[in-house]
Amino acid sequence: MEGNVSQLVGSFIAIAILLAVGIQVLGNAVQDCTSLPGNATAGWQGTCEIGQTQTIDAYGLLGIILIVIAAVAILFVVKLL
């Protein structure tokens, strides 16, 4: 039983690290919208800025999801003990 709990905790830590690194890398992989025609409120540049904002918000939501998964995993491990 103890070995299963250790494997579960180790797996969760590994997944959490991979997700955290992925969130940082993908969250910073946004396009430079200044080279596109238009301004920040209209044209291609405005569309790019809207998409960029939505992308950053989506990756921020992944952090919240990771916290929820961590809480569920902790409650599961406590229940096993």
Asked if the model's pLDDT at residue 27 lies above 60, the reply is yes
With cut-offs at 50, 70 and 90, classify the pLDDT of residue 60: confident
Of the pLDDT bands very low, low, confident and very high (cuts 50, 70, 90), residue 51 is confident
Going through 1-81 in order, the beta strands assigned E by DSSP cover none
- Report residue 28's pLDDT band, with 50, 70 and 90 as the boundaries: low
Stated pTM of the model: 0.51
Per-residue pLDDT at 54: 80
The number of beta carbons lying within 10 Å of the beta carbon of residue 36 is: 15
CA distances from 37 to 29, 43, 65 (A): 21, 7, 36
